[in-house]
Amino acid sequence: MSVLQDISAALQRGRMPKVKELVTQALEQGESPKAILEDGLLAGMSVIGEKFKNNEVFVPEVLVAARAMNAGTALLKAKLQEEGVAAKGKAVIGTVKGDLHDIGKNLVKLMLEGKGLEVIDLGVDVSPEKFVEAVNEQGAQLVCCSALLTTTMGEMKHVVEALEKAGVRDKVKVMVGGAPITQSFCDAIGADAYTPDAASAADKALEFVTA
């Protein structure tokens, strides 16, 4: 196996120290940071994403894989910036106002990053105004809203309305998700996409920024 395949395999097993060791080794061997990112780290994360979608692995495995990915990416970050490897697109993500659940939102963030997108995480209890402010400040193409409560899911409509009011609705795609969200809810509030899980959210996000 090549060192890049080793990185992918170690990441899938969530072995953070091994991933760090292998990324360092790959750099010493002259592998390009871009290849290490795409054929090592992102390749491994994409396998995890598919398995998660198919219920072959679960939240803990995704979290340890993501932790390993973050450690590997951190070693590459400065070199990638030197090489000028641009992110494929930019997203802002947050759990909507009144809602403090963030496990699913964090998974979506990790999966988006796993697809090479830059993600600005606004955290939890994010007001519509804060989403708008982030879009204006960050120039994001995607607005990703998560909600876990039937009492807070209506905030997603307010996000869409706030983007309209601010005159930036046509500049972004609004993606929604979380346990109570459905496709018909997405359609009713005028969002652009509902996805049921983090892996399909990442697929859709990539589709939007590369369309």
Dist. CA 196–CA 176, nearest whole Å: 9
Comparison of 55 and 210: residue with beta carbon closer to ligand B1M:
55
Chain residues in the site for ligand B1M (CB under 6 A):
59, 98-105, 107-108, 144-146, 148-151, 175-180, 195, 197-198, 201
Question: Shortest approach of ligand B1M to residue 209 CB, angstroms?
Answer: 14
Question: Shortest approach of ligand B1M to residue 155 CB, angstroms?
Answer: 11
Question: Shortest approach of ligand B1M to residue 86 CB, angstroms?
Answer: 23
Q: Which residues 6+ apart lie within 8 Å of 122 measured at CB?
A: 92, 93, 94, 130, 131, 134
Comparison of 22 and 201: residue with beta carbon closer to ligand B1M:
201
Comparison of 14 and 177: residue with beta carbon closer to ligand B1M:
177
**Element of type H or E holding 194:** strand 193-194
Comparison of 3 and 173: residue with beta carbon closer to ligand B1M:
173
Question: Shortest approach of ligand B1M to residue 147 CB, angstroms?
Answer: 7
Is residue 159 within 8 Å of residue 192, measured between CB atoms? no
Phi, psi at 195, each rounded to 5°: -130, 140
Question: Shortest approach of ligand B1M to residue 60 CB, angstroms?
Answer: 10
Question: Shortest approach of ligand B1M to residue 80 CB, angstroms?
Answer: 25
Q: Which residues 6+ apart lie within 8 Å of 138 measured at CB?
A: 90, 92, 120
Comparison of 6 and 203: residue with beta carbon closer to ligand B1M:
203
Comparison of 4 and 199: residue with beta carbon closer to ligand B1M:
199
Is residue 136 within 8 Å of residue 110, measured between CB atoms? no
DSSP, collapsed to helix, strand or coil, labels residue 127 as: coil
Q: How many Cα atoms occupy the beta-carbon half-sphere of 2 within 13 Å?
A: 10
